[in-house]
Structure formats: structure tokens, C-alpha cells
Amino acid sequence: MSLIDKKSDDFDEAIIEYANEIDADLISLMNLPGISLANLIGGNYVQNIITNEHHIPVLLLNPRQTGHVSIFSSYSGAG
């Protein structure tokens, strides 16, 4: 059974129950700054997942904008 097969009206509850069913060791989420569709329709879903009743650990990633990095920027072509 996949997460899509879950019959739940709550995004957070579907994630938690699926993680519990597959005996997940970790739930990972990306915390998107600003307004997101999930915040508009679900509100506090991140907090509900973090404080899940099954005590499954949650890794919350906070994205950070970085500059352009090139692995070839110091390559001189001589060799």
C-alpha cells in the first residue's frame, strides 16, 4: 500500500499512519519558508507530524539559498 492509497482527509495523519505501517525509522520534511499550498490548506501539519503519537523521529530540513558553485571554476586546462 502506498501513501496515495490512504483514505485520509488529513495530510499529516496520512503521513504518520503510513510511516507507522511501514515501520519507518524517520520522517523527513522540508520546511518551506513563506506561504505554501500546504500551509493554506493544512495549517499546522508540520507541528502535527513532529509531535506524532508513534514517536517516529522527524528530520526537518530548512532550505537555504546558496550562490552558484562550480566544481570546474579553478580548472585551468593545463595538465
Hey, where are the domains in the chain?
A: 3-61
pLDDT given at position 49 = 92
Instruction: Find out whether 63 and 48 touch, Cβ atoms under 8 Å.
Output: no
Query: For 19-29, what is each residue's pLDDT tens digit?
Result: 999 999 999 98
Query: For 4-41, what is each residue's pLDDT tens digit?
Result: 565 667 888 999 999 999 999 999 988 776 655 555 55
- Tell me which amino acid residue 5 is: D
pTM higher than 0.75 for the full model? no
Specify the 3-state DSSP secondary structure of 45: helix
Instruction: Find out whether 46 and 62 touch, Cβ atoms under 8 Å.
Output: no
